[in-house]
Amino acid sequence: MVALREIVTSETVFFFDLDGTLVDTDFANFLAYKMAIEKVIGKSIVFNPQQRFNRAQLKTVFNEISDSQFSEIIRLKEMQYSGLLSETKLISDIANFLFRYYKSNKTILVTNSRKSRAMETLNYHCLTDKFHCFFFQENNTTNNKFQIAITQLGISPKNVIAFENESEEIKKAKNIGVETIINSTYFKQ
């Protein structure tokens, strides 16, 4: 395995995903859903550290809920999250790359998170000033956050090193020519 520092040049642009890559938000996300579900339908969920609870799981686990209950759970979950930021934690291996390169290279947040939640998380962990620009869920009009960022920034995908933990997102990055993608397995080799 080639050391990352051996392939970084002044032209390298770093793309960082947020949830599960730069910051572990799974437990806070779970707790916010748990509180909202209990309030709206009086049922509970159990934390699974192997899988992030999301909207699709909500529909699968509670397929009998109405559209209005679903919307209310999502609304309450979003309101709860900011009070649970203390349950989030930096993923140190990835954060260390950000701290090492944010002054010498462009560092871009490329996330499927909503802007308000992403900014709350970044502010809580004092990361906001470590990024040159941000791409949020609201920017993602093509269902490929990497393509949007590359197009809007006018950069070559060959100059990008992406930090991403989700396999579907990794495939999307590779499909548009991003050759170097770092996830947690990189640090276990």
Tally of structural domains, the chain? 2
Task: Specify the DSSP class assigned to residue 125.
Answer: T
Task: Identify the pLDDT of residue 56.
Answer: 87
Pair (148, 165) in one structural domain: yes
Boundaries of domain holding 65: 26-87
Which amino acid, 120?
A: E
Residue 16 and residue 178: Cα distance in Å, rounded? 13
Task: Identify the pLDDT of residue 185.
Answer: 59
Pair (109, 162) in one structural domain: yes
Task: Identify the pLDDT of residue 187.
Answer: 57
Of 59, 87, 115, which one is at a domain's C-terminal end?
Answer: 87
Enter the tokens of residue 74.
């999502």
pTM assigned to the model? 0.89
Kindly give the parts of the chain with pLDDT less than 50.
1, 189
Pair (119, 71) in one structural domain: no
Rounded to the nearest 10 degrees, the angle between the axes of helix 167-175 and helix 145-153 is: 40
- Closest alpha carbon to 4 in 112, 66, 96: 96
Residue 173 and residue 189: Cα distance in Å, rounded? 22
Residue 153 and residue 142: Cα distance in Å, rounded? 15
Pair (70, 133) in one structural domain: no
Q: Are 17 and 111 in contact, with CB atoms under 8 Å apart?
A: yes
Pair (117, 62) in one structural domain: no
Task: Identify the pLDDT of residue 141.
Answer: 78
Task: Identify the pLDDT of residue 17.
Answer: 97
Of 70, 87, 104, which one is at a domain's C-terminal end?
Answer: 87
Q: pLDDT, tens digit, for every residue of 123-153?
A: 999 999 999 999 998 877 788 999 999 999 9
Pair (116, 147) in one structural domain: yes
Enter the tokens of residue 20.
């599960």
Pair (109, 175) in one structural domain: yes
Of 87, 117, 132, which one is at a domain's C-terminal end?
Answer: 87
